[in-house]
Structures are given as C-alpha cells and as structure tokens.
Amino acid sequence: MSQLEEPMSPSAGPARGTSPGWPEVTTIGGLLVRAAAAAPDRAAIVFPDRRVTYAELLDRARTMARGLVGLGLGRGDHVGLLATNGVEFVEALFGISLIGGVIVPLNARHRADELGYIVSHGDLAAVLTTAAPGQYTDFAELLRGGLPGLADAPDAAGLALDSAPALRAAVLLSGEQAPGFLPRSRFDEIAAATPPAAVDALAARVRVRDTGVILFTSGTTANPKGCMLSHEAMTRGPVERARYRLGTGDADVSWSAGPLFHVATLGPFLGSVGTAGTFLSDSHFDPGRALDLLTREGVTVAFPWFPAVMQPVLDHPDFDPAALPALRSLFLIGPSVLLERVQAAFPGCELVAACGMTETAGIYAISGPDDSQELRATAQGAACPGIEIRIIDMFTGEDLADSGVPGEILVRGYNVMEGYYKDPEKTAETLDGQGWLHTGDLYSWTPEGHVAFHGRLKDMLKVGGENVAAVEIESFLARHPAVEWAEVIGVPDPRLDEVPVAFVELKAGQAATAEDLIAFCRGRIARFKIPREIHFLGPGEWPMSATKINKRGLRALLDSQTH
C-alpha cells in the first residue's frame, strides 16, 4: 500500500485546508525577495526586544551576501552558521542563499570535536558565528577548540588550516574581539566595497534543485551525518502548508520555541517568510517570555512540537488561554493525556498532528482539518501533497496493507534528501534505487489511511521473543497522575535478551516511588512490558539533543549509575 495525494484540477482553485494541486517553488533567497516586495513594512521576525521588517531583513541579507562575495565565496560554497536564534542568524541564512551558497546550520549543542568534524568533513569554505558580549555560549572558543590552528591564524579572511583544508574564512556576525575571526566591522567594510550587481548575478543562477542546505544530524551516532537538501525540499512543503493548510489564510503570526538550526523550526520559519507572515522567536526558551511575546503579537499558528516546551507553558502561572484568542493551529507530539489537556485549553484551535525528520526536510505527513480529535491524538496524518508513503514488513520488505500492523515507513518525493554528504555507504543504506527513503521509523496504517507512530526500529525492545515498542510503555506511564514525562530504553538481560527500564520526571508537587509506578502498570499492561527499573530525573537533568531527549544519553547515564 502506498499513498500519494491526488492534485486538484487547476480550474477548481484551492480551498482552505488543501493544496492548489500544482507546485509553487522558489529558492530560499527568493522567499525573502518576494516577501519584501509584497509587504516591505511588515515585521518578518520578532524577538522579545527586537523586530525586523521584510525590507530591513532583505537589506541586511544583501549586505551579508556582498560581504561573502567580497571574501571570494559564491555558488556552491558551503558556509557554516553557528548562532542562537537572532537577527544575525536570519540575515546570514538568506545572505548565503542569495549568492547560491549552501547553508550549513551548526548545532549550538555540539561539542568542539563535533564542530571540528563538520567543518572539515563538510568542506566548509567559511564559518559565521557571534561573539556578542555576555552571550551564553562562547561559540568562537568552541570553534577554536575543534579547529587546531584557528586561534593563531594570521588572516581570518585567508585561512589555511591543516585541520580544515577547505576553510578560507571565519567571520563574526556580531562582536569585534575573537582570535582567529574577522571582526564584524571589517566584514562590513568588505561588503561596502562589493558592488550589489555581483550578488544579483549570482542570485539569478540559483536553481531550485541545487543543494540549498546541508543539515547535520544531531550526532547520536559516531559522527553527525550531513543531509543534502535542495531549495525545493526546504521551501515547497513549508510554504504550501503555511498558505493553504494552517492559520487564518492571511498573513499569519507563527511561533516556534526551537532553534533555527533544526528543521522543526527552520521549516515553519521558511513557510512564514514564503507567505510574508510574521515569525516569533527568541534566543532561548523561557515560558514566561514566550507567553508575553505570543500574547503581545497575537499568535495564530504555534509549533511547540514537544512536551518539553508545551508542559512549561501550560504550567506557567501566567498561562491564560483566553489571552491567545487568535490561535488557530498548534503542532504537538506527545502522549494523549497532554494532547487532551491542550485541546481542552484551546477548544477552538486545531491540534495538528504530523511526522517528519531531517532527511525529509521536516514534515512528510500531516493530519487533515476535518479529522476527529481521536484520530489526531492517535495518528500522525496522511501523506502531504506530492509525497508518497509505504509501510513495509521489517523482515520481508513486503508492503503492509492491513491497519494496525507495524512496519518501517518509507518516504519518496521532492522533499527527500539527495543523500548524506561524502557518505555513499550510508546513503546507499538509506536511499534505495527507486528513490525510497528507508526512515528507520516504525508506523502502521489506520483504517482511515493515516500513519500511526510506534517508535524507532532501534527503540523496539525484544523482551523474551516479544516485540515491544518503547513509546507504548512511555504513553502508559504518562497516564499516571504524578508523571510529567517518561522515557523507556532497553537494557540487556541474560534470560529475556532485553528488558524495559524507565526514566521518569514527576510533576511539581507530586510524589511517587518506583514501586508505585510499577504497581500502576500491573494488570493494565502485559507483564513483559512492565519496566524492571524506574529512575527519576528532575527538570533540566534530561540529556538532550537539539529538540528531543537523547536516549543514547540515557543509556550512558544508566551505565554511570551501575558502575
């Protein structure tokens, strides 16, 4: 069984909640140029203490592009971008795209050695970062730690490092003092000396199927893998969803608390720019600051995505759903108890279910506006327009047509990556000869033709010969009134091969012991699914990747407690 949404007849015209039936595609830089022409005075992005209009953002991006050209960069050059969410990040992102460069957002959570690997393996020609006084993380120091020789380089605009042979320049987007980096003032001088026509000539040559972004995975495996994503992959789906599927149908005000270096936030941001909307963000997530910003700006579409963001918002003393009357759509992945709580708080808001991954440039399946609350709570939607989905048996590779039977989900379409950069072996393992991306995620079909998540293939436990999805145990534990969040991993067992172990965070003011939670499971789920151990973590103690709890980190934490 596969799924591909049929296009509408062009003469019919799009209805709200559907696509027009034909693609609307441009480059990443083209999104900003078009929005600045349509709504120059509208706020493009708003932070708690700063707002930038489309005209201002385009002017800043063109300055950035001129500076990059002045440094000798151009079409096809890989440019790393290491910064928290801010004006500097977005002006650099569009500046790189305007000259046909490849944007390589760098994970602000990466360690120095991971950054050094990406700069070297990713053949970055330049790296852009910030060194503003008082910023939380010293990115320049991190890069120096991962790139031997950078600190002592005599010319930051003419680098020649053994540790990163392709790297030619290291530039500060903000700040003046950082050994090994070109100060922002000097970069601006180079930009001023570069004619605008040089940028225009390069921008005109960018193709929508050129690689626009290389997004490196978060590094839970040995080394991060670089997903090569085209301009079309990065822009087409987000813009289509923003224009035809979400919000008010006008210039929406969208919010995401996540980092722009991650596809879960970068995608919605590009969708907002592609429809000349306003995007709300912050350099870091704080529920109080977020609520103030959402209330002040009249948010219409929200992308909290994960319980780690949504729970603190709901629990904040200033939370008042009546203060957010314009909210129309909210994306959230989590246990049904959380979804039910959010829907009760916002009865007039559509709780949108979706699934995606970096290799598919974000979302590849999404719920429909007429789906029942139960379906949206238990499944992640149907294939987005132009995207095909299959679910196959993990052992035979045959298509699974029956509902409720888990298998690996495969995705094919314009949104799928071209491959992993300089890694043909892993690319061949993931992309087959027919263009299907083998995701490593377990899903099943629902009777309605939607897909329901069962966990990662690697998160399937084999307990005494029985297949057990970690997410099933996690969802059950989350129904205990004292449990805020739960994660389950498998640990080796000499008799059963593997057994489940749970990590749990309790709600503020609530108490429960490991025996209380195990007793809660007895008689309600199969014995082999009951966690053998339960370990408690407090807020801020969870090992995290960019946006999610890192199960590899949980395994390391468990090892450290038992040795």
Residue 484 lies in a domain: yes
- The model's pLDDT over 183-215, given as tens digits with 9 standing for 90+, comes to 999 999 999 999 999 999 999 999 999 999 999
Q: Which comes out higher in pLDDT, residue 334 or 167?
A: 167
d(CA 349, CA 400): 34
- pLDDT over 90 at 454, yes or no: no
DSSP code of residue 529? G
Among candidate residues 201, 226, 251, the one where a domain is terminated: 226
Residue 97 lies in a domain: yes
Q: Which amino acid is at 415?
A: N
Among candidate residues 182, 204, 226, the one where a domain is terminated: 226
Q: What burial letters (b/e) apply to 522-552, b meaning 16+ CB within 10 Å?
A: eeebeeebbbeebeebeeeebbebbbbbbbe
Identify the CATH number of the domain in which residue 95 sits: 3.40.50.12780
Give me the mean pLDDT over the 507-527 stretch: 91
Residue 446 lies in a domain: no
- The model's pLDDT over 117-139, given as tens digits with 9 standing for 90+, comes to 999 999 999 999 999 887 888 99
User: Could you tell me which residues are beta bridge partners of residue 45?
Assistant: 52, 279
Q: Which comes out higher in pLDDT, residue 333 or 143?
A: 143
Q: Which of 9-18, 135-144, 330-339 has the highest mean pLDDT?
A: 135-144
Q: Are the C-beta atoms of 437 and 227 separated by less than 8 Å?
A: no
Among candidate residues 188, 203, 226, the one where a domain is terminated: 226
Question: Comparing 261-270, 369-378, 417-426, 434-443, which segment has the lowest mean pLDDT?
Answer: 369-378
Count up the domains in the chain and report the number: 2
Mean confidence (pLDDT) of the chain: 90
Residue 468 lies in a domain: yes
d(CA 437, CA 556): 30
Please give the share of the chain, as a percent, with pLDDT higher than 70.
Answer: 94
Give me the mean pLDDT over the 357-367 stretch: 96
Residue 193 lies in a domain: yes
Identify the CATH number of the domain in which residue 526 sits: 3.30.300.30
Q: Are the C-beta atoms of 458 and 429 separated by less than 8 Å?
A: no
Band (pLDDT 50/70/90 cuts) for residue 34 is very high
Give me the mean pLDDT over the 174-186 stretch: 94
d(CA 333, CA 363): 12
Give me the mean pLDDT over the 498-505 stretch: 93
Structural domain span for residue 178: 53-226
Residue 80 lies in a domain: yes
d(CA 142, CA 79): 17
d(CA 139, CA 126): 15
Residue 309 lies in a domain: no
Residue 19 lies in a domain: no
pLDDT at residue 19 in the model: 59
Give me the mean pLDDT over the 15-26 stretch: 67
Band (pLDDT 50/70/90 cuts) for residue 562 is low
Q: Are the C-beta atoms of 111 and 154 separated by less than 8 Å?
A: no
Q: Tell me the three-class secondary structure of 319-350, residue by residue.
A: CCHHHCCCCCEEEECCCHHHHHHHHHHCCCCE
* Helix-then-strand count for the chain, H and E: 17, 27
